Structure 1
Amino acid sequence: MEPQKDYPEPRQNNSRVLLWVALLLVLLGINGVLFYLNTQKKTENEQLTTQIQAKDTKLQEQIKEYEDLKASYERQSQDLQKLGLSNDSLVARISSINADLLKLRSFKAGSFSIAEQQRFKQRALNLEGQLRKKDEQIAELRKSNENLYTETTTLKQKQNKLTDTISTIAKTNRELSDKVSMASRIQADNIRVSILTSRNKEKEDDKEEFKAKRVDRVKVSFNLARNDVSPKETKQIYMRILEPDGAALYNLSTGGGTFTVDGQEAFYTQKQDVVFDNTKQALNFIYAKGGDYKIGQHTVELYEGGALMGKTTFTLK
């Protein structure tokens, strides 16, 4: 007996195969779509990362540019201070740059938009333009100061030379004046000392030695030497009689007083005013002490205009 054949089974198997194929195709399609979407997402992420990096790079470049601008403006401020000038507008610009730097540093990653980039870039360009103009002004000021310094230095050198010349002339004039003053000093010639006794007898000793107890008055005679330089005018002639101990005989009642010799005050015994006429005129002083004279060597000094005219000595024994 032959087995029975089931014919519907091959058709059923074909349907299963087709179903599996269809499922496989669907899965492949889904995977394809997922792969495409993942690829797109990755591309978008990469593009976004690139954009963020580009923005951050722009941001750092802008920060660096503003830092450089700040340093340049601070340098300008120092340059003006060295020139002795101040500029409030520079202080205001530096404050504005500090505010911009604070704003730039506050941007988060990727948040530095193109609009912000353009705005800060334009502000930086304006600041750079103002910086260049101010640098040109400072350069002109510095050049003017250098020219002024050169002119001042030249003037000082000329002034120093002129001062030196004036000093030299003044020194020469002083030396000439001193020479003229020295040359115009009157000298006393032929100074002679004699004594007058109480009986009005005059005694003169060749050795200039006299007995003290016989001296009532001392007479000093001399001539004014010729001097063609000294002007013909009234001269004050001073006489000093110095005792053996160096003290000057001095008494107001007998015509004594004080005068200046070498910048110091000194006592004189007598003085007289004489009109100098350059004729070798003869003069004399007669001095009465009014008391006993000391024993020893006495000195007679004659002065005119604070300068010594001549001197001599006499001795009392």
Structure 2
Amino acid sequence: MEQSQSSEPKNNNRVLLIVALILVLLGINGVLFYMNQQKGKQNEQLTADIKVKDTKLEEQIKQYEALKADFERQSQEVQGMGLANDSLEAKIASINADLLKLRSFKAGSFSVAEQRRFKQRAANLEGQLRKKDEEIAQLKQDNEALYTETTTLKERQNRLTDTISTVVKSNQELSEKVTIASRLQAENIRIGVVNARNKEKDDDDNEFKAKRVEKVKVTFNIARNDVSPKETKQIMMRLIEPDGAALYNLSTGGGTFMIDGSEAFYTAKQDLVYDNSRQPVQFLYAKGAPYKTGLHTVELYEGGVLIGKTTFTLK
């Protein structure tokens, strides 16, 4: 009887221990289940965030592609009106660079800061786009008004008498003659060369040794012209090598100008206040590289018109 009573507390203790273990296991499972739930929610949230970022990125790319198409349209419209479109071409190049950057983002890497930056830039571009559209619309309106006015003037002109037409024609011919008469001419054109020791050499035959040429010196006088107005004139000098190409370097004063409606390169230029006194003019040009052998040509221009020309040979 006593043995039965002593075993009963042991059995109770064992049951309690088993219950406690079960409760502990249930608690651990509950914690693990909660942690797995939280991790699943975090993964779902992360996946959702990545999708949102990717969606934002796709939307931004589409917006920039639309902006590019609109700026290209504007560029074509401006070019069609015969106007310069350099600023629009620069914007298109900038948008292309932005598109390249946007397309380089990996999945989910389009940060909020980048979203804001590209969104703000797109807003600025849209503002510029609207403003340019307004300018283009105004230009078209002005061109239409000018076209209407020009058409009206032509119709009126066509109704003038033969006598007035003859007078107009005579005035035009006279104006052309005055324009031609007022053109400057370069006279006494001479070519000299300067070697590396800064020693100058002239030759009546205009023949020099190429390896000794450091600089080419061109001197001449502006011929008297009582018709040409006394004002600042811009003289361009073209030094043309044997292969027909004009020497051109921005760092040494080269550039472009128009000759008979076509763009051409000039080697050097200088401004001259014309005073009708047979002023001397000098160009001293250093190529900075060995000169080619063969026949070289020097052309002088004022107002896009040839005013003098000569040649020299480097052997």
Q: TM-score, normalised by structure 1?
A: 0.49
Q: Specify the structure having the higher radius of gyration (Cα).
A: 1
